[in-house]
Amino acid sequence: MTDAATVTSEVTDSPGKEPREEREPLLRISDLAIDYRTGRRRWTPAVRGAGLHVAPGEFVSLVGESGSGKTTLVQGALGLLPISARIRAGSIAYSGVDVTGWNDRRMALVRGNYVGFIPQDPNTSLNPVKRIGQQVIEAVRFNDPDAGDAARHREAALESLRTAGLKDAERVFQQYPHELSGGMKQRALIAIALAGKPKIIVADEPTSALDVTVQKVILDHLVGLREELGIGILLVTHDLGVALDRSDRILVMQDGEIVEEGPVGQVLESATNDYTRRLLDAAPARHIGRLEPTSGARPVPAAASAVLEARALTKTYHLRGRGRQRELRALDATGLVVRKGTTHAIVGESGAGKSTLASILAGFTSADSGTVHVGDRELTGLRRGQLREIRRDLQFVFQNPFTSLDPRFTVSKIIAEPLVAFGSVTGKRERTARVVELLKAVALDESYLHRLPSQLSGGQRQRVAIARALALRPEILVLDEAVSSLDVSVQAQILQLLVDLQAEFGLSYVFVTHDLGVVRLISDDVTVMKDGAVVETGPVEQVFRSPRHEYTRELLEAIPGARLAPAGAN
Amino acid sequence: MLRYVTLKVGRALFVVWAAFTLTFVLLFVLPVNPVDLLFDPAEINTIPPEVRKQVAENYGFDDPVIVQYLDRLGHALTGDFGNSVQSGRPVTAAILDVLPSTLVLASGALVLALLIAFVIALVATSTRHAWVRNLVEALPSGSVSVPVFLSGILILQIFSFRLSWFPAFGGEGARSLVLPLITLAIPVSGPIAQLLVRSFATEFHSGYVTTSWAKGATRGGIIIRDVFRNASLPAFTIAGITFGNLIAGSVITETVFARKGIGRMTQIAINTLDVPLVQGVVVLVAVSFALINLIVDLIYPLLDPRLRATLAISIPQAATGGLR
């Protein structure tokens, strides 16, 4: 009990300690090294001597790709490291109080009270069986020095919900997490983080599970909170664009080390580190026009004929139960034309119906009405056997390369599977030759033939998935969010690969994505969807330069990384 | 909601009906001459044909099968399963006589098993020492691998014969219940504990637990306030299914401890080919099984608001939620 009391007085500001508080930043991490246990006596470093500090009222972003150790660093700062991790060296101090190595009980007094945390995925970060109000009240109660008084806690929780931007706080208070949208859940989590009246908020990828337009609102709100409450914010993100738009200072992390640090302007103009420059160059917003194939400029497909055409597709899902409100119109008279040798992007936020459209185009789902033509053959209404023939010409690449490859198949077996299934290449030697040829096409060599998917990186897996799709020499590839789960630098490589393959084989792409930034890099035409209907369609240049629909404009404005755009563009 | 309840009640009724029909087919239709089953096998040759004919008439064996079936079903619906061949008492009365002691044993064992399972799961989750966790997690598989008759005899040896803490036999008083309860609960607690340990561990590493840590909650608080409710949901399902095993397990336990109860009565009924009694017991077990599972199904929506939402009649939020 006395222990707890001293901790509280140490960490929370008492008048006697104000001079030190002014000198010391809210959070200072110095030379922190964190290892993960990978064997009996083996430790693998995840964070290697990283340091950072956040001053009051400052918005600091920590940028890094997956595996850079940014999340481990934040977990270390909050004392939330998994058991398999240990802090080998360095220190973590909040307002000059060194909390390194504090046990859970003492850290509990720092967390919530002094540092608030906004987690990555709002969909799993709220207790599903508790009302929102209850969860916010807990956050208030844990951090209230004089316990008791339930009415005051309730009032504080409601206030916190309102501060987090939930106008209808009373209603949300009574609701369960599953009754809220992703954006509202993230706001509830912000309310929880604010409920303890912290001095600093640490946000770990708070918007990567949200739609762009929602992301913009949430991030704007965080910036507002910093100004309104004078708190410090440490934002962890993989998205350089997001970081550049709002931060005062940026830190770039690679392989457990901070490789670049400085104010936004300085990083943008004169990044000293190679990796930072690579990240900057890889950001989609950096590029003005479409990517050019490495083999040279490609012929402009001016009046190419339609290779895939969808007309008036309608699809309604019947949700469980009866009643009219149980119907969900996923597609409403949606049409699409893909010209030969070009890329047609389908853009929209979650629930826009773009994945439904993609799977109807690929023949995985059947439409209620409407037609799909591949070349001059009609896809809709085909029997299974005939559909199979169409698959030679039309292949699909899935979103997640970590689940779309059989973990027990070798790379060579994965790529050869369509060849075997369609019997198009007979003989073992010919088949292996074709697989090697395909691997070369996606810039991998023969050494990958006998590897398992688990031995490949995310980018390599997606290359294998693309090679598999190309095995039957299709004319059309349907790519459903094919680069969304990849790091920016890997994403840039895959996009370049797709552009090169298109130039080489004259492929046509249907490119489904939620990311408008990527669209500009790869597409010739774009269709913007919302709530199952086409909002706007046309050549990319035209749609991006002068969007006709309000929603398109909203989406375009929400693309992070406006500051990344090279001078002269737009 | 109404639809859900109707569905679940309908399923429970179906289970009971199916059990009745199946036992009818097995016991009354398939034997070449069901009358034979009504007599003690040792005396069957000494029974005069007139008596057999008389009995067959009394039992309605001369009627077409479908009439017999409907007749028995009709009587069963009013709780009349005929008379026990051995004692001549009505089956229902004979069952009701021993039912309380088995019910006390079975439900007591279920509660004890759940208790053991929860303690194991809580200790495994809350301990900071890896060796404690490993030790505790090894208990469930150990408890499953010891057969009931062996553990029963072992427990009898130690606590009754050596230490004389509890009586070895009989069904009088609460003290006589202790050893059978433990014997019956231990093997049942194993699978439940295994399931709980796993689901506690999964939930303990879920996103909302991180949120709670960040709120400033302590380890104990998180386990009780957040993990417990989410992680115990699967235990209810398995507990409902286990109840059937408990009644089956009571056959051995009641024999070892010489207690009266459904288990022992079933054993005797089967040995003596007391067909009406066997049918009564089978239907009774089916009823209790269906009832327990019905209760579990009906409690579920109360514990999980997500399920409640999908059951509600008009739910615009859930409709959009399904989209994401």
Q: Is the pLDDT of residue A494 over 80?
A: yes
Of B215, B303, B317, the CB nearest to A142: B215
Question: Do B132 and B71 fall into the same domain?
Answer: no
| Lowest mean pLDDT segment, chosen from A235-244, A420-429, A558-567, B194-203 | A558-567
The answer on pLDDT for A15 being more than 50 is no
- Averaged pLDDT, A441-451: 89
User: What is the nearest CA distance from A212 to chain B, expressed in angstroms?
Assistant: 14
Residue B180 inside a domain? The answer is: yes
Report residue A526's pLDDT band, with 50, 70 and 90 as the boundaries. very high
Range scoring the smallest mean pLDDT among B68-72, B114-118, B211-215 = B68-72
Same domain, B108 and B251: yes
Residue A214 scores a pLDDT above 80: yes
Contact A518, A284 (CB under 8 A): yes
pLDDT of residue A67: 81
Q: d(Cα B17, Cα B20) in Å, to the nearest integer? A: 5
The reply to whether residue B317 touches residue A179, judged by beta carbons under 8 angstroms, is yes
Q: Is the pLDDT of residue A495 over 80?
A: yes
Q: Quick check: B53 pLDDT over 50?
A: yes
* Residue A517 pLDDT class (50, 70, 90 cuts): confident
Per-residue pLDDT for A218 more than 50?
Answer: yes
Residues B105 and B79 in one domain: no
Is the same domain home to B76 and B29? yes
Q: What is the pLDDT of residues A153-181, one digit of tens each?
A: 999 999 999 988 888 889 999 999 988 88
Q: Which backbone phi and psi does A168 adopt, to 5 degrees?
A: -90, 55
User: In this model, does residue B257 exceed pLDDT 50?
Assistant: yes
Provide the domain limits for residue B146: 100-271
* Residue A301: per-residue pLDDT: 59
**A297: its two tokens:** 């400029």
Facing residue for A179 by CB, picked from B3, B309, B314: B309
To the nearest 10°, the Cα dihedral for A355, A358, A363, A364? -20
Per-residue pLDDT, B211: 92
Query: Whose structure tokens read 């550049």?
Result: A244
A357 pLDDT above the threshold of 60:
yes
> For the ranges A107-121, A265-279, A493-507, B40-54, which has the lowest average pLDDT?
B40-54
* Same domain assignment for residues B82 and B104: no
Cβ pair B218:A325 closer than 8 A: no
Close Cβ partners of A332 (under 8 Å, ≥ 6 residues apart): A314, A353, A531, A532, A533
**Tokens encoding A11:** 């960490």
- At A216, the pLDDT band (50, 70, 90 cuts) reads confident
CB contact under 8 A, A127 and B310: no
3-state secondary structure of B95: helix
A532-554 pLDDT, tens digit per residue, is: 899 999 999 899 889 999 999 98
C-alpha to C-alpha distance for A154 and A173, rounded to whole angstroms: 9
Per DSSP, the three-state class of B234 is helix
**Residues B152 and B187 reside in one and the same domain:** yes
Q: How does pLDDT run across A143-153, given as a tens digit for each residue? A: 876 767 888 89
Distance (Å, rounded) from C-alpha A269 to C-alpha B304?
A: 53
Gyration radius of chain B over CA positions:
25
Q: What are the φ and ψ backbone dihedral angles of A126, each rounded to 5 degrees? A: -115, 145
B29/B175 same-domain check: no
Q: Could you tell me how many helices (H) and strands (E) chain A has, helices first?
A: 21, 20
Q: What is the CATH number of the domain that holds B146?
A: 1.10.3720.10
The H helix count followed by the E strand count for chain B is 15, 0
- In chain A, what percentage of residues exceed pLDDT 90? 32
The region of weakest confidence among A16-25, A194-203, A549-558 is A16-25
When mean pLDDT is compared across A283-297, B114-128, B285-299, the lowest value belongs to A283-297
Residue given tokens 């408008």 in the structure block: A516
pLDDT band (50, 70, 90) for residue B247: confident
* Residue recorded with tokens 């009219």: A324
Q: Does A78 touch chain B (CB under 8 A)?
A: yes
Mean pLDDT of A110-124: 90
Q: How many Å apart are CA B237 and CA B232, to the nearest integer?
A: 10
The answer to whether the beta carbons of residues B213 and B166 sit under 8 Å apart is no
Q: Are A236 and A202 in contact (CB under 8 A)?
A: yes
Q: Is B129 on the interface with A (CB under 8 A)?
A: no
Q: What are phi and psi of B83, to 5 degrees?
A: -105, 145
In B, minimum Cα distance to A327 occurs at B319
Same domain, residue pair B48 and B124? no
Give the model's pLDDT for residue B126: 86
Return the percentage of chain A with pLDDT > 70, whole number: 91
Number of domains in chain B: 2
Which of A125, A127, A315 to mutate: most B Cβ within 10 Å?
Answer: A127
Is the Cβ of B317 closer than 8 Å to some Cβ of chain A?
yes
pLDDT for A423 equals 82
Lowest-pLDDT range, A398-402, B246-250, B311-315? B311-315
Within a domain: residue B23? yes
User: Does A8 contact chain B (CB < 8 Å)?
Assistant: no
Q: Are residues B199 and B155 in the same domain?
A: yes
Rounded to an integer, what distance in angstroms lies between the CA atom of residue A501 and that of residue A506? Answer: 8
Q: What is the pLDDT of residue B171?
A: 63
| Whether A178 and B322 lie within 8 Å, measured CB to CB | no
pLDDT score at B13: 92
CA distance B68 to A131: 56
- Concatenating the DSSP letter of every residue in A539-565 gives EHHHHHHS--SHHHHHHHHH-S-GGGS
Mean pLDDT of A111-140: 91
A129: closest CA of chain B, how far (Å): 6
Cβ separation of B212 and A127 shorter than 8 Å?
Answer: yes
**Closest chain A CA to residue B306:** A178
Residue B203 maps to a domain: yes
Would residue B277 count as lying in a domain? Answer: no
What mean pLDDT, rounded, does chain B reach?
Answer: 82
pLDDT at A319: 63
* Domain-embedded: residue B279: no
Which residues lie below 8 Å from residue B310, measured CB to CB, with a gap of 6+?
A: A320, B318
Do B189 and B231 have their domain in common? yes
**Looking at CA atoms only, how far is residue A72 from chain B in angstroms?**
13
∠ at Cα B106 (B103, B108), nearest 5°?
100
* Structural domain contains residue B91: no
Both B294 and B265 in a single domain? no
The answer, for B15 touching chain A at a CB cutoff of 8 Å, is no
Residues B298-310: what's their mean pLDDT? Answer: 81
Say if B40 falls within a structural domain: yes
Query: Is residue B95 included in any domain, yes or no?
Result: no
Q: Indicate the pLDDT class of residue A1, thresholds 50, 70 and 90.
A: very low
Q: Name the nearest CA neighbour of B145 among B192, B197, B190, B194.
A: B190
Same domain, B223 and B308: no
Distance in Å, alpha carbon of A322 to nearest chain B alpha carbon: 8
A196 has a chain B CB within 8 A of its CB: yes
A220's CB contacts (< 8 A; 6+ apart) are none
Cβ contact, residue pair B303, A192, below 8 Å: no
- Sequence letter at residue A172: V
pLDDT for A308-321, tens place per residue? 999 989 988 876 54
| Domains in chain A with CATH codes | 2-114+198-282 (3.40.50.300), 125-197 (no CATH), 338-564 (3.40.50.300)
Per residue in B57-94, pLDDT (tens digit) is 777 777 777 888 888 888 888 888 888 777 788 888 88
Better-scored residue on pLDDT, A70 or A485: A70
A66-102: pLDDT as tens digits: 888 898 999 999 988 888 888 999 999 998 889 888 8
Q: Looking at residue A428, what is its pLDDT?
A: 87
Burial class of residue A156, CB neighbours in 10 A (0-12, 13-18, 19+): buried
| Partners of A478 in the β-ladder | A396, A510
